[in-house]
Structure 1
Amino acid sequence: MHALHKTSLATLFLACAALAGTAQAESLNVMTSGGFSAAYQRLGPEYAKLSGDTLTTISGPSMGQAAEAIPNRLARGEHADVVIMVGYALDELIKQGKVDPASRVELADSRIGMSVKAGAPKPSIATDTELKQVLLDAKSVAYSDSASGVYIEKELFKKLGIEAQLKPKSKMIERTPVGSVVAKGDYQLGFQQVAELLPVEGAEFVSKIPEDLQSVTRFAAGIPVNADHPKQAKALLDYLASPAVQPAVQATGLDSVPR
């Protein structure tokens, strides 16, 4: 991962060392959804080195009917020390009394971007007019079955006044990273949260869509009320939200939360 600022790293190390000095190293269960996964995969191992804790990671969607979805896991009685997910889905778990409201931490914002097959031309979509024309000219368009894809299908095309033209040639891709179907050449353009487009080999990220057309997804984290290790969980959340790790967060395509 990107090197952390030395002073900030030292501060984090001392904080973790203090934690380790007051309690033995623990094994934390972390449930995380896809949008923050790339950042967590960079930061989790670093935190484990600093704290001595072991992080066991369980992946699942923030919502939906899938058995792997974080709310469904918790409903079945699965235990977690930390849940990382879309902010409004976390808020629902807080309302249900499953996550401690005082533990909520803002982590990052995720914006929608576009990718094309590796080697294909990268058209400019810097303005609303350019994006509209690129979509009209495209032979096929794919978008995810997450919040970003729902926004594209239900709102973005309408805002651009091209819903009728896009309906026959666009498709919501279920359970599969959009970049992968673009990489295979099945679709000319792919839209998804930037952090989920960047890791896909064979597809190349073009840019984010214009800010006035964005649908920003906030990722947040919290501690379930029945967490086995709430003190260590809080230390992990403080680390993930700290200024020192923001360069690593941003490198995965996410945007830091204004503080």
Structure 2
Amino acid sequence: MTPALTRRHALAAGAATLLLARRAAAAEIRIVSSGGFAAAYKALAPGFEKETGHSLAAGWGPSMGQTPQAVPARLARGEPIDVVIMVGYALGKLVEEGKVLADSRADLARSGIGVAVRAGAPHPRIGTVEELRQTLLAAKSVAYSDSASGVYIEREMLKRMGIAEQLAGRARMIPAEPVGEVVARGGAEIGFQQLSELKPIHGIDILGPLPSELQQYTVFSAGVVATSREPEAARALVRYLASPEAAPAILESGMEPLAKPR
């Protein structure tokens, strides 16, 4: 065999060895994400899989609430999960309970609350607190999520606006379903949810964010579950989602990335 052929065989054998090693090291990472980060995650997942060779299996559920899909409920029943992506303060509680590794937590993005109506419906004014108050008082039905944004609206915002009692019976919390879908099918006249959760929904018009005096931003964070079977691969995913390279996709989804793009 000539030296050139010997070198080519050696290079081919080396490449095959590296490929086999990469495949052997590849892991399946199981993720549960709240809807607020879903659009960004879906945009970022293919790049991570291509770059690392790992495969991702994602599920969706709210950061809190009583539904079986909620992240705390999934962990409580022992569902195999490697990474959770959810509202930051809810993830913090899981860290305190020892269910998520404290040193794995990364804050990814923050999102404001938006207001939507069914596509083609009249666009009431919401630019000021008084305009939003009059719009809500005139609405036949109002919907908000059972996660962070809805908890804030129900427990704080409507009371601050002095209209909680007037809206009793017309305003309701929606469990385990995007509020935008409820609005799109005519189940509510006005809907509130994270802007990043409203943007992907067809059949609605987004009126805009809440007035600045009422706006509340929710931080979305990621962490590795303490019982993860693939902790190193899971940590790599969290680092990737928190990296400057992920910032453009997060911005496009309607959120503000906490890592600035390079």
1:236 aligns with 2:237: yes
3-state secondary structure, aligned to 2:26: coil
Matched residue count: 241
Point out the more displaced range, 164-173 or 204-213: 164-173
Q: Is the 8 A contact 2:242 2:259 kept in 1?
A: no
Call closer, same or farther: CA 1:257–1:185 in 2, change over 3 Å: same
Name the amino acid aligned to 1:82: V
Aligned residue for 1:172? 173
Task: Output the aligned Cα RMSD.
Answer: 2.2
Q: Is the 8 A contact 1:198 1:204 kept in 2?
A: no
Name the amino acid aligned to 1:63: M
Aligned residue for 2:14? none
Name the amino acid aligned to 2:93: E
Call closer, same or farther: CA 1:62–1:186 in 2, change over 3 Å: closer
Aligned residue for 1:38? 39
1:69 aligns with 2:83: no
Aligned residue for 1:253? 254
> Runs of at least 4 residues of structure 1 off by over 3 A?
20-23
3-state secondary structure, aligned to 1:211: coil
What's the % identity of the aligned pairs?
50
Call closer, same or farther: CA 1:80–1:118 in 2, change over 3 Å: same
Structure 1 segment 68-107 matched on structure 2, within 5 A: 68-107=69-108
Q: Deviations over 1:110-156 (max 9, x none)?
A: 21110011112323322222222222232322222222112212211
Call closer, same or farther: CA 1:198–1:258 in 2, change over 3 Å: same
Residue 21 of structure 1 and its aligned partner are, at CA, apart by: 6.3
Residue 166 of structure 1 and its aligned partner are, at CA, apart by: 2.0
Residue 196 of structure 1 and its aligned partner are, at CA, apart by: 1.6
Aligned residue for 1:114? 115
**Structure exhibiting the larger radius of gyration computed from Cα positions:** 2
Point out the more displaced range, 245-254 or 112-121: 245-254
Alpha-carbon separation, structure 2, partners of 1:77 and 1:173: 26
Call closer, same or farther: CA 1:142–1:61 in 2, change over 3 Å: closer
Alpha-carbon separation, structure 2, partners of 1:106 and 1:254: 12
Aligned residue for 1:224? 225
Q: With structure 2 as the length reference, what TM-score do the two structures score?
A: 0.84
Alpha-carbon separation, structure 1, partners of 2:177 and 2:32: 19
Alpha-carbon separation, structure 2, partners of 1:139 and 1:176: 20
Alpha-carbon separation, structure 1, partners of 2:144 and 2:32: 25
Name the amino acid aligned to 2:65: G
3-state secondary structure, aligned to 2:63: coil
Alpha-carbon separation, structure 1, partners of 2:122 and 2:226: 50
Call closer, same or farther: CA 1:124–1:246 in 2, change over 3 Å: farther
Structure 1 segment 171-210 matched on structure 2, within 5 A: 171-210=172-211
Q: With structure 1 as the length reference, what TM-score do the two structures score?
A: 0.85
Q: Is the 8 A contact 1:106 1:221 kept in 2?
A: yes
Residue 157 of structure 1 and its aligned partner are, at CA, apart by: 1.4
Name the amino acid aligned to 2:131: E
3-state secondary structure, aligned to 1:191: strand
- Which structure 2 residue ranges, 5 or more long, are not aligned? 1-17
